[in-house]
Chain A
Amino acid sequence: MDILYLLIPLSVGLVFFILAGLWWAIHRGQFEDIEAEGERILRND
């Protein structure tokens, strides 16, 4: 189980990475209009 000594710190890093992604999404307003995102694929552009 020595691999855990690598995996657990790695998971901490992964969480920070995910948090960065969430920050990017939230601050670009992706969580504000949930319906429109689904309809975006129907647009022409």
Chain B
Amino acid sequence: MHIKLCVEPLAYRSVMTEVNVLPSLNSDVSHGEAMDGEQRLKLLDDPQEWAAFSLPEKTQAGCWSSSVVFEGMHCAACAITLEDALRSVPGVDSVQINAASHRGRIVWSPDVTRPSEWMRSVERFGYKAIPANDAYAHERRRQEGRRMVWRLAVAALCMMQVMMYATPVYVTEPGDITPEMVHLLRWASWVLSLPVVFFSCTPFLRSAWRDLRHQQVSMDLPVALGMMVTFVVSSIGTFEPAGPFGAEVYFDSLTMFVFFLLMGRWLELRMRDRTAGALEAVLNRLPDSVRKRMPGGQWALISIRRLAVGDVIEVLPGEALAGDGLVLAGQTQVDEALLTGESIPLARQAGDRVIAGSHNLSGAIEVQIEQVGTATRYAQIVALMESASLSKPSMALLVDRWAKPFLIAVLLASLASAIYWWPTDPAHALMVAVAVLIVTCPCALSLATPAAMLASAGALARSGVLVRRLEALQNLASIDTVIFDKTGTLTRDAFEVASIHTRAAVSQSQALWWASSLARHSLHPVSRALWSEARRRAEAEGRLSVLESEQAQAVLEKAGQGVSGRLNVSGRALNLRLGSAAYCQAPVYEGAHLQVSLADDAGWIATFELVEEIRPEAPQVVAALKHLGLQLKVLSGDAQSAVAQVASLVGIDDVRGGCGPQDKLQAVQAWQAQGHKVAMVGDGLNDGPVLAGADVSFALGQAVPLAQSKADFVLMGGQLQVLVQTLVRSRQTLRIVKQNLLWAAVYNAACIPLALLGYLPAWAAGLGMALSSLLVVLNALRLSQGLT
């Protein structure tokens, strides 16, 4: 059981929707980035573009204030260099750089300069400035953080001072202190409690008021009620000591209690900021751009924002499709792994359809756009994910069911005690009633869960696990099934060279060397695998620089077939071909692996067999999870045989291949209907819906931003071991939460009878409340140790 956490601010939600709709088009793998980068920077000079990361400056008319993120900052001195570089650009009025967050705010005038100018000014020094598109969300979060810190500061200072005023009454014998002095001290305490109750407490009061109006119950209601009753009773005690409500004041308990609660909320906010901020940072990149054919026939670079249905765009190898469309000219291969989970390239030519978000691998094509934005298939998958996440089981329902009877019971008990004691002594009666309310005030209860969750989340964050939903830590402890995706999760997202067959007189390294001279010019996953293997071997032999300087001439890539080129080897020119067996006129080997052949004019040279590389830690992780008593399954979009093979190498038996996003979601829902609690580990876009629908979901750090935004945990390091550690930590967290709740319950159970019988003065109730909160927090701090 746990409290209902605050509703996330709307701005946060809308920002994440923006991440969902637009994939990053301009892949980092594309060629000619230097030239492209310059032109893409110029796109920012469009007022509509710079409005995405700038606001009109309030203090100076006509100027704009832009937020950017700097790359390449590694120390505080960099901030000084950057500030100087930016200030030297005419038109830049002021620069503020935060060295810790690598963010800067530049105030500039559009009459004199443009964003591309001052962004270029820092490139000279080796830095890069990227528009901070998440600036709005970032700023909003910053303001929220400031307000919270301010509330906390008010509560803290007033709490300390009120405690000072309360101490004389505690330590003196009756009679030592004059009634006038007591009155003065109480008056001073009352004045200082005003800001605490009416300013610092406003989040609780507002939330409680909202709950009352909607006839719901959250833990804020008893808290707010207790606060108001305590304040009212104490105020009356201050100004009408002879009145029926008695002469006791509880300002010290009140302020301390508020302070502890606010501390918990503040820590929770900071944690949420850190994780949300990191994910929103994926929005920070240069505006996506496409080359569009203009009416005059020439090609111009335009921003994705301005793309419309009917436009004809040119997509170069390495770029991603900006929208669904029809290929008009050219032929190529596309990688639709984002959506289907398969990394095998698919051929596309004039007359074929291509989908948004897929990557163009080999040839330049002209595409007529048929769908943009939300109408694309990519966006439909996003919509599927949104609906899946709405039907996620909500723990808040359980809390509400439990909290209402508890609150009613508390109120009744308090009322009953007041009624019981009233005939004998009205003042005492009220004191008893308030003592009951205070003692039952669930501050230890409210802190029990968040304190533990936050301590765990902090420890996890330090080990590279972003916790996006704190509730998930609790859910994780009760799962019994873990489902893995294959490509990119159990395996690395690339092929690996398994074996090399060569003809006589040619060594394996030699063949690889020649092949890589062609492969480096191709973006095909197979080429990338060959190139990285060649680099690895060259590095091991210390000949990396020689390899890198080896240049083939006249490199031509034929989509679907291979790459050809001319390489100078010790004076001779070799006309090489690297590609399919048919392209190279090479023999085909027996086996299930993908084969790539290398040949020259004289004939076949070598054949490379490629497999998907399994993550080295995967078998251990699987073994550890089994040891923890979990059932493991694999759901993948790849063919059943390929998936089964990988799964058997890793140690999982239950395998299902050929799954689309809907199939995965349905499988998970079927298991959930059987009563299993399911956790999903994935990284691709096709994992999106199932990540949202599972009880707990993990996304790997290199996952598409979409999957990351739907997952409960993001494993930043890209290592799977931390999955096991997170699971273990979540079980520990649940244990500590139970301990905390047990303590809170025992404390309440012991103190309520005492309060009802009149043996518990309110100050003791307040002190007990504060101490029990402290105990809960200290117990929770045991969880902030690093992960094993």
Q: Which residues of A contact B (CB under 8 A)?
A: 1, 4-5, 8-9, 11-12, 15, 18-19, 22-23, 26-27, 29, 31-33, 35-36, 39, 42-44
**B100 interfacial contact with A, CB 8 Å:** yes
Q: B101 — which chain A residues lie within 8 A by C-beta?
A: 33
Q: Is the interface of A mostly helix, strand, loop or mixed?
A: helix
* Contact between chains at B76 and A39 (CB < 8 Å): yes
CA distance A32 to B142 in the complex (A): 9
**B628 interfacial contact with A, CB 8 Å:** no
A34 — nearest CB in chain B belongs to which residue?
B100
* Contact between chains at A15 and B161 (CB < 8 Å): yes
Instruction: Give A18 Cβ to nearest chain B Cβ, in Å.
Output: 6
Interface size on B, residues (CB 8 A): 25
> What are the 6 A-B residue pairs with the smallest beta carbon separation, nearest first?
A39-B76, A33-B100, A36-B99, A22-B153, A26-B150, A12-B188
**B384 interfacial contact with A, CB 8 Å:** no
B145 — nearest CB in chain A belongs to which residue?
A32
Q: List 30 A-B contacts (CB under 8 A).
A: A1-B181, A4-B184, A5-B184, A8-B165, A8-B184, A8-B185, A9-B184, A11-B161, A12-B188, A15-B157, A15-B192, A19-B154, A19-B157, A22-B150, A22-B153, A23-B150, A26-B150, A26-B153, A27-B146, A29-B146, A32-B142, A33-B98, A33-B99, A33-B101, A35-B100, A36-B98, A36-B99, A39-B76, A42-B76, A43-B80
Complex interface bits, B209-227 against A, C-beta within 8 A gives 1, otherwise 0: 0000000000000000000
**B191 interfacial contact with A, CB 8 Å:** yes
Q: A35 — which chain B residues lie within 8 A by C-beta?
A: 76, 99-100
CA distance A11 to B163 in the complex (A): 13
CA distance A23 to B149 in the complex (A): 10
CA distance A5 to B182 in the complex (A): 11
**B761 interfacial contact with A, CB 8 Å:** no
B185 — nearest CB in chain A belongs to which residue?
A8
CA distance A23 to B157 in the complex (A): 12
CA distance A36 to B195 in the complex (A): 31
**B158 interfacial contact with A, CB 8 Å:** yes
Other contacts beyond A29-B146, A35-B99: 18, CB < 8 A: A8-B184, A8-B185, A8-B188, A9-B184, A9-B188, A11-B161, A15-B192, A22-B153, A26-B150, A27-B146, A27-B150, A31-B146, A32-B98, A32-B145, A33-B101, A36-B79, A39-B76, A39-B99
Partner pick for A22 among B145, B157, B181, B191, CB 8 A cutoff: B157
Instruction: Give B491 Cβ to nearest chain A Cβ, in Å.
Output: 40
Interface residues of B in 177-221 (CB under 8 A from A): 181, 184-185, 188, 191-192, 195
Q: A43 — which chain B residues lie within 8 A by C-beta?
A: 80
- With A27-B146, A33-B99, A43-B80 as contacts: A18 and B184 at CB distance below 8 Å: no
Complex interface bits, B140-157 against A, C-beta within 8 A gives 1, otherwise 0: 001001100110011001
* Contact between chains at B157 and A12 (CB < 8 Å): no
Q: B184 — which chain A residues lie within 8 A by C-beta?
A: 4-5, 8-9
Interface residues of B in 113-163 (CB under 8 A from A): 142, 145-146, 149-150, 153-154, 157-158, 161
A4 — nearest CB in chain B belongs to which residue?
B181
Q: B195 — which chain A residues lie within 8 A by C-beta?
A: 19
CA distance A32 to B157 in the complex (A): 19
* Contact between chains at A36 and B157 (CB < 8 Å): no
A29 — nearest CB in chain B belongs to which residue?
B146
Q: B99 — which chain A residues lie within 8 A by C-beta?
A: 33, 35-36, 39
Q: A22 — which chain B residues lie within 8 A by C-beta?
A: 150, 153-154, 157
CA distance A44 to B87 in the complex (A): 15
Instruction: Give B398 Cβ to nearest chain A Cβ, in Å.
Output: 37
* Contact between chains at B161 and A26 (CB < 8 Å): no
CA distance A43 to B97 in the complex (A): 13
- With A11-B161, A12-B191, A43-B80 as contacts: A36 and B154 at CB distance below 8 Å: no
Instruction: Give B644 Cβ to nearest chain A Cβ, in Å.
Output: 52
Instruction: Give A9 Cβ to nearest chain B Cβ, in Å.
Output: 7
CA distance A19 to B146 in the complex (A): 14
Instruction: Give B104 Cβ to nearest chain A Cβ, in Å.
Output: 12
Q: B142 — which chain A residues lie within 8 A by C-beta?
A: 32
Q: B153 — which chain A residues lie within 8 A by C-beta?
A: 19, 22, 26
Q: A26 — which chain B residues lie within 8 A by C-beta?
A: 146, 149-150, 153
Q: B158 — which chain A residues lie within 8 A by C-beta?
A: 15
- With A1-B181, A31-B149, A35-B76 as contacts: A11 and B100 at CB distance below 8 Å: no
CA distance A18 to B191 in the complex (A): 15
A27 — nearest CB in chain B belongs to which residue?
B146
CA distance A22 to B146 in the complex (A): 11
Instruction: Give A44 Cβ to nearest chain B Cβ, in Å.
Output: 8
Instruction: Give B153 Cβ to nearest chain A Cβ, in Å.
Output: 5
CA distance A8 to B190 in the complex (A): 13
Complex interface bits, B72-100 against A, C-beta within 8 A gives 1, otherwise 0: 00001001100000000000000000111
B184 — nearest CB in chain A belongs to which residue?
A8
Instruction: Give B78 Cβ to nearest chain A Cβ, in Å.
Output: 11
CA distance A27 to B143 in the complex (A): 9
Q: A32 — which chain B residues lie within 8 A by C-beta?
A: 98, 142, 145-146
Q: B157 — which chain A residues lie within 8 A by C-beta?
A: 15, 18-19, 22
CA distance A15 to B159 in the complex (A): 11
Central interface residue in B76, B98, B181, B195, by most chain A CB within 10 Å:
B76
Q: A42 — which chain B residues lie within 8 A by C-beta?
A: 76
Instruction: Give B188 Cβ to nearest chain A Cβ, in Å.
Output: 5
Instruction: Give A5 Cβ to nearest chain B Cβ, in Å.
Output: 7
CA distance A5 to B192 in the complex (A): 17
Q: B76 — which chain A residues lie within 8 A by C-beta?
A: 35-36, 39, 42
CA distance A9 to B184 in the complex (A): 8
* Contact between chains at B188 and A11 (CB < 8 Å): yes
CA distance A39 to B195 in the complex (A): 35
CA distance A43 to B82 in the complex (A): 13
